Homo-oligomer: A and B are copies of this chain.
Amino acid sequence: MGLRERKKERTKTALLDAGIDLFLSQGYEATTVDQIAAEVDVSTRTFFRYFSSKEEVALCLPAEEQEAFLAALAERPESESPFTALVRTGRARLALLRELDETDASRLLKVQRLIQTTPALVASRMRLIVHNERRLLAEVARRQGRCPADLRAQLVVSVFLAMTMACYGDCPQDPAALAGRYESLLALAEDSLRPGWDLPAPDQAGPDPAVADPAVADRPAGEAAKVVVG
């Protein structure tokens, strides 16, 4: 790796760290791009050559994590059911947090704290997650042997994402607490879901049950509700 690339990398992490620290100390909105650039002693224009937006400073790490998650998911054995594969991938990623460089780990925790305390960034991370939902869905549908429009595939992804978001819900603190929260939610899901719920229905062999019969919506309100009341 040449001097040039090393210099670039140093500048990028310098901007990243400066940005995160400024965001945390004086607030995300109150911090201007000019300030970040000045801190690293580069021009504002140069800042935008490293980060496409101010937001990206706060979200590039989570974005990378998502990429890594998708890559890891793709390598889970086919024998695992879709939801199991998702859950185990999540657990593996979580475990990776603990064997991290001290500076990298603290950076990640800072970013977590930052996002958590900034409504605009919470929304942005949500956007990230939703943006990747499509790819997650594709992988789940592939494992189920269905098309991505399959409602059950969507349900599996939605439930998993719901769990993930609920995980972010409170306390970032330390990786251990996060993992604990993750496992608690998992146990709860086990209590709530029927075994095999994430496997494709064996009776319907067709590859496209995506659009359901709209006539079902004409049922009176009180009638269809029993399906979930139990």
Contact = CB atoms under 8 A, between A and B. Distances in A.
Interface of A: 80-81, 83-84, 87-88, 91-92, 94-95, 119, 122-124, 126-127, 130-131, 149, 151-152, 154-155, 158-159, 161-163, 165-166, 169-171, 176-177, 179-198, 201, 211-217, 219, 221, 224-225, 227-230
A91 B181 contact: no
Nearest to A199: B230
Given A91-B221, A163-B158, A188 B151 contact: yes
Contact of A192 (B162, B193, B213): B193
Given A181-B212, A186-B224, A217-B179, A194 B192 contact: yes
Nearest to A184: B212
Contacts of A211: 171, 177, 180-181
A229 B195 CA distance: 7
Nearest to A83: B228
- Output the residue of A81, A196, A197 with the most chain B CB within 10 A: A197
A81 B227 CA distance: 13
* Majority DSSP secondary structure for residues of A touching B: helix
A120 B125 CA distance: 13
**What 10 pairs between A and B have smallest CB-CB spacing?**
A195-B230, A158-B162, A179-B217, A184-B212, A180-B214, A123-B127, A192-B197, A190-B227, A183-B216, A162-B162
B213 A180 contact: yes
- Complex copy number for this chain: 2
B151 A91 contact: no
Contact of A224 (B126, B183, B191): B183
- Output the residue of A127, A169, A219, A228 with the most chain B CB within 10 A: A228
Contacts of A201: 191
B165 A149 contact: no
A154 B169 contact: yes
A188 B25 CA distance: 47
A46 to B, nearest CB: 25
A154 B154 CA distance: 19
B87 A228 contact: yes
Contacts of A81: 229
A180 B171 CA distance: 38
